[in-house]
Amino acid sequence: MKIYKTADLISNTPVLASVIEEKETVWINPDLLPFHLAEKDLELSMKDIDEAEERLNRFAPFIAECFPETRAQGGIIESVLTPIPKMQEYINEKYQSALMGKLLLKQDSHLAIAGSIKARGGIYEVLKHTEDLALKHGLLSPQDSYKVLASENNRSFFRGYTIQVGSTGNLGMSIGIMSAAIGYNVIVHMSADAKQWKKDLLRSHGVRVVEYESDYSEAVLNGRKLSDENPKSYFVDDENSRNLFLGYAVAAKRLLVQLKDQGINVDADHPLFVYIPCGVGGAPGGVSFGLKQLFHDSVHCFFAEPAKAPCMLVGMATGLHQNICVQDMGLSGQTHADGLAVGRPSGFVGGIMAPLLSVIFTIRDGNLYEYMRGLLDQEGIFLEPSACAAFAGPIHLNHYPETKKYLIENHLCGKMKQAVHIAWATGGSLVPEAVRKAYRETYLEE
C-alpha cells in the first residue's frame, strides 16, 4: 500500500483541495474522448453485452420458476422508467436548478429479487458461473430449457459448491438470494457499514453472513482468501469482475426499448444525461459502458459519490485508480450512503471509463436525506439514501461553472430543452418500514 503526500497530490490535481475538505464538488473528466476514438482501445464490446443479454434470456424460464414475482415479465428482471415531473418542478423551485428537458427516474430500486441495481450484475454473475458448471458437468444440454436447473437433483449438485462475496450490503443480497435459490452454499462477508436488516434478510434465506469490524476492502480481502482455499468455492470479485460489469451493461439495451416506447429519441440534437450513484464503480461503470455503446456521443454519463468516500473521483482524477484510496487523502470513508461506502475504486472500471465518463459530482450525507424526502413528498417513491445521490446531477448541472463550461464545449446549450435526464435510482424497495421511518426523520447538520 502506498501513502501519498497530500500536498503533492493537490498541486497536480487541484480538485482534491475541496475533496479533502469533504465539500460538495464536481470533477470534469479531461480524458473524455469522442466515442469513435475511445472505442478502439476498449477491452469489451457490444458483442460481449449481447452475449450477456442472451444468457439472461436463457435463464429467464428458471428465474420465473424460482421467483414467482418475476413471472409477469417472463423471468426477465427489469425496472420501470418513470417520468417525475413534480420532482423536476420541485428542484427547479427549491434549488433553482433551471433544469430543462425531461427528468425521468430509472427505478432499479424496485428490481425484483434484490431491490437494487445489484440485481443486474450480481445475479448475472451467479448465473454465468452456474451455466459454466452445469454445462461442464452435463446438467444442461444447449437445447434444454434452463428450468431443469430447478430440479431437486440439480439443486443437490450445487449444494456441493460454495459462492462467496464481500459486500457493503446490496451486492451480498443479490448474490446471496440468487445463489441460495440455485442451491449453493453462500457466504457473504459484510463490512461494518452493512445494515442489520440486510444481514437478517440474508440469514433468513440460509446465507452465512460473516461480519467485519473494518471496511469493505477488509471484507473482500478475507472473503477472497477463504474462497481461494476451497477449490469448490467461487469468489465474486466486485472490483475486477468482467461478468458483473456486463450484467450491468445489459441495462442499456433494455433502456433503449423503454425510451422508444415512451416516444423518446436520443441523438445529437436530443442529448441524454444519466446520473448514477457510484461505489466501487462496477454498477455505474457497466451501465454507462452499455449506454455509450448504444448512444455514443449523444449520451453524457455522470457519477455521484458521497463527499466522504469519493473513491472513483480520487482514482480517476489522479490516474492512480486502485492504487489510491480515500483514506490516503485523510478521509474516513464513513458515510450514511452505505451502498457507496467504498474507499478504494475498481481500477478495471476506472480504466474503461477514462475515455467515456463525463463528470463526477460529490454529495454531502445530509443532502441525501433531503432529496429522499423531496422525492417521497413529490412523487410518492421511496429510495434508500445512497440512491438519492443521483439527484446531485439534475440539481447542480446548471450551478457549477465547470459543468456550464462542459455544456458549452460540447455544444449542448441550445439543445437542453430537448434533453432527457435520467436519475438512476439504485436501491430501496426492500428497506423495512421501521428503517424507512428512521430515514425520514434523519436530519444532519452537514
Ligand X SMILES: *Cc1c(COP(=O)(O)O)cnc(C)c1O
CB atoms closer than 10 angstroms to residue 141: 9
Please say which residue, 146 or 424, places its beta carbon nearer to ligand X.
424
16-55 per-residue burial string, b: 16 or more CB within 10 A, e: under 16: bebbeebeebbbbbeebeebeebbeebebebebbeebbeb
What is the 8-class DSSP label of residue 147? Answer: G
Provide, rounded to whole angstroms, the least separation between the CB of residue 275 and ligand X. Answer: 11
Please say which residue, 60 or 354, places its beta carbon nearer to ligand X.
354
∠158-211-221 over CA atoms, to 5°? 75
Report which residue's Cβ sits closest to ligand X: 279
Provide, rounded to whole angstroms, the least separation between the CB of residue 374 and ligand X. Answer: 18
Provide, rounded to whole angstroms, the least separation between the CB of residue 230 and ligand X. Answer: 25
Provide, rounded to whole angstroms, the least separation between the CB of residue 424 and ligand X. Answer: 8
Q: Are 73 and 111 in contact (CB under 8 A)?
A: no
Please say which residue, 104 or 171, places its beta carbon nearer to ligand X.
171
Please say which residue, 116 or 154, places its beta carbon nearer to ligand X.
116
Q: How far does the chain reach from its first CA to its final CA, in angstroms?
A: 31
In the chain, what's the furthest Cα-to-Cα distance?
A: 62
CB under 8 Å to 282, separation ≥6 — which residues?
A: 121, 238, 239, 241, 244, 245, 248, 346, 349
Please say which residue, 383 or 419, places its beta carbon nearer to ligand X.
383
Q: How far apart are CA 164 and CA 184, in angstroms?
A: 10
Provide, rounded to whole angstroms, the least separation between the CB of residue 327 and ligand X. Answer: 17
Provide, rounded to whole angstroms, the least separation between the CB of residue 169 and ligand X. Answer: 7
Provide, rounded to whole angstroms, the least separation between the CB of residue 390 and ligand X. Answer: 9
Chain positions contacting ligand X, by CB under 6 A: 116-118, 170, 277-284, 339-340, 342, 384, 386-387, 426-427
Provide, rounded to whole angstroms, the least separation between the CB of residue 202 and ligand X. Answer: 14
Please say which residue, 325 or 419, places its beta carbon nearer to ligand X.
325
Secondary structure (DSSP) of 68-132? GGGGGGTT-----EEE-HHHHHHHHHHS-----SEEEEEEGGG-TTTSBTHHHHHHHHHHHHHHH
Which of 265, 172, 239 is closest to 212 using CA atoms?
A: 172
Q: Are 302 and 275 in contact (CB under 8 A)?
A: yes
Please say which residue, 185 or 362, places its beta carbon nearer to ligand X.
362
CB atoms closer than 10 angstroms to residue 58: 16
Please say which residue, 19 or 340, places its beta carbon nearer to ligand X.
340
